């Protein structure tokens, strides 16, 4: 088999030189039932390997996989009952119709649908539908630090972590870059408290009370090797209206999807009405 495949690797170059001015002859490499696999049907990434041995191995694997699929198909065609084959043909027809229609819709959307969504439109949608965006969990804007308890200048880092002015934060970031295991500043971004809690050594009990009473939280892990600092700068409780920034991407997806549905509906209506005008579509036996 390997000797045969080695010949297969050489044949394309031979045929290419021999037939450079005429149509390249197709090279058969395997046959399963009445189906023939040709060399040009083997993907390039299967054939193009650095060494002939690797190429032979990959081609052999592809041929074996192709043969198993074709032989299974042949056996199924010989044994499936006619009523099931008819049902498959119906399903294939519907799938083909849907796929072609989908690709045409997608092409027309790329050509003609307005995909630009302005900030004003996002804010207007949020204002008109604010009650639809209720928080399923507590969210925070916070600073989170994890660092070894033996970190030099720990008290200074702790004091800097409590402040919110830009100069202190720059100094803190510089120190954390040197010593911290983890440093996340979510000052401009809302983050799920459940997600942030996963970074802590123990779960926060009664998150609502914790957020109402806590602006700065400090704890250590069980063996006191790491110190965890959490500065909570803002929070929103579950079941309250989500901030615009938190749901902005969701709103963008909603608006885009609504446009897509409206565009497809308009496209279908236009095609339908044109067909009526041009007598392409008629209802028979009214």
Query: In whole angstroms, how far apart are CA 122 and each of 110, 116, 127, 133?
Result: 21, 11, 9, 13
Residues contacting 273, CB < 8 A, separation 6+: none
Q: Tell me which of 132-141, 182-191, 224-233, 257-266 is least confident.
A: 182-191
Is 54 part of any domain? yes
Confidence of residue 26 (pLDDT cuts 50, 70, 90): confident
Beta-carbon contacts of residue 147 (< 8 Å; ≥ 6 apart): 154, 157, 176, 179, 180, 181, 226, 227, 229
Same domain? 139 vs 75 = no
Q: In this structure, are 70 and 142 located in the same domain?
A: no
pLDDT of 22:
41
Give the pLDDT confidence of 104-113 residue by residue, as tens digits: 999 999 999 9
Q: Are residues 139 and 232 in the same domain?
A: yes
Residue 261's CB is within 10 A of a number of other CB atoms, namely: 10
Q: Confirm whether 84 is domain-assigned.
A: no
Which domain covers residue 50, as residue numbers? 2-79
Q: What is the mean pLDDT of the chain?
A: 88
Does a structural domain hold residue 101?
no
The residue with greater pLDDT, 278 or 20, is 278
Q: Is residue 281 part of a domain?
A: no
| Three-state DSSP state, 262 | helix
As for how many domains the chain has, the answer is 2
Q: Both 214 and 145 in a single domain?
A: yes
Contact 251, 126 (CB under 8 A): yes
Decide if 210 is inside a domain: yes
Question: How far is the C-alpha of 142 from the C-alpha of 151, rounded, in Å?
Answer: 22
241 closest CA partner among 160, 73, 95, 126: 126
Does 177 fall in a domain? yes
Using alpha carbons, select from 233, 200, 237 the residue that is nearest to residue 216. Answer: 233
Residues 149 and 73 in one domain: no
- Looking at the fold, whether 145 and 57 belong to one and the same domain comes out as no
For the segment 76-94, what is each residue's pLDDT rounded down to a tens digit? 999 999 999 999 999 999 9
Q: Report d(CA 184, CA 179) in Å as an integer.
A: 14
Strand ranges in 124-200 using DSSP code E only, listed in sequence order: 139-148, 182-185, 191-192
Q: How many helices (H) and strands (E) does the chain have?
A: 10, 7
pLDDT digit string (tens) for 5-22? 545 555 554 455 444 444
- Kindly state whether residue 259 falls inside one of the protein's structural domains: no
Percent over 70 (pLDDT), the chain = 91
User: Using alpha carbons only, what angle is made at residue 125 by residues 267 and 118, rounded to the nearest 5 degrees?
Assistant: 75
- Distance of alpha carbon 120 from its chain centroid, rounded? 28
Share of the chain above pLDDT 90, in %: 71
Tell me if 260 is assigned to some domain: no
CATH number at 152 reads 3.10.50
DSSP 113: -
Q: Which contiguous run of DSSP H or E holds residue 78?
A: helix 52-79
């Amino acid at each position: 088999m390997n000797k045969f495949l080695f010949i297969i690797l050489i044949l394309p170059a031979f045929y290419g030189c021999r037939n450079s001015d005429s149509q390249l002859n197709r090279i058969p490499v395997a046959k399963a039932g009445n189906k023939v696999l040709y060399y040009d049907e083997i993907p390039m990434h299967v054939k193009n390997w650095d060494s002939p041995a690797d190429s032979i191995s990959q081609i052999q694997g592809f041929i074996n996989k192709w043969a198993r699929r074709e032989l299974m198909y042949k056996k199924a065609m010989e044994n499936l009952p006619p009523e099931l084959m008819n049902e498959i043909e119906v399903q294939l027809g519907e799938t083909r119709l849907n796929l072609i229609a989908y690709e045409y819709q997608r092409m027309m959307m790329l050509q003609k649908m307005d995909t630009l969504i302005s900030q004003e439109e996002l804010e207007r949608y949020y204002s008109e539908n604010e009650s639809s965006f209720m928080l399923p969990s507590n969210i925070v804007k916070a600073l989170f630090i994890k660092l070894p308890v033996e970190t030099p200048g720990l008290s200074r880092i702790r004091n800097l972590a409590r402040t919110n002015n830009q100069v202190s934060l720059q100094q803190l970031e510089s120190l954390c870059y040197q010593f911290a295991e983890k440093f996340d500043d979510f000052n401009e971004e809302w983050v799920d408290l459940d997600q942030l809690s996963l970074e802590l050594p123990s779960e926060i009990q009664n998150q609502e009370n914790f957020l109402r009473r806590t602006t700065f939280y400090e704890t250590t892990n069980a063996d006191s090797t790491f110190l965890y600092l959490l500065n909570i700068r803002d929070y929103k409780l579950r079941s309250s209206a989500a901030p615009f920034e938190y749901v902005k991407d969701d709103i963008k997806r909603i608006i885009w999807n609504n446009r897509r549905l409206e565009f497809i509906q308009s496209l279908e209506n236009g095609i339908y009405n044109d067909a009526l005008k041009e007598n392409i579509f008629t209802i028979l036996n009214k």
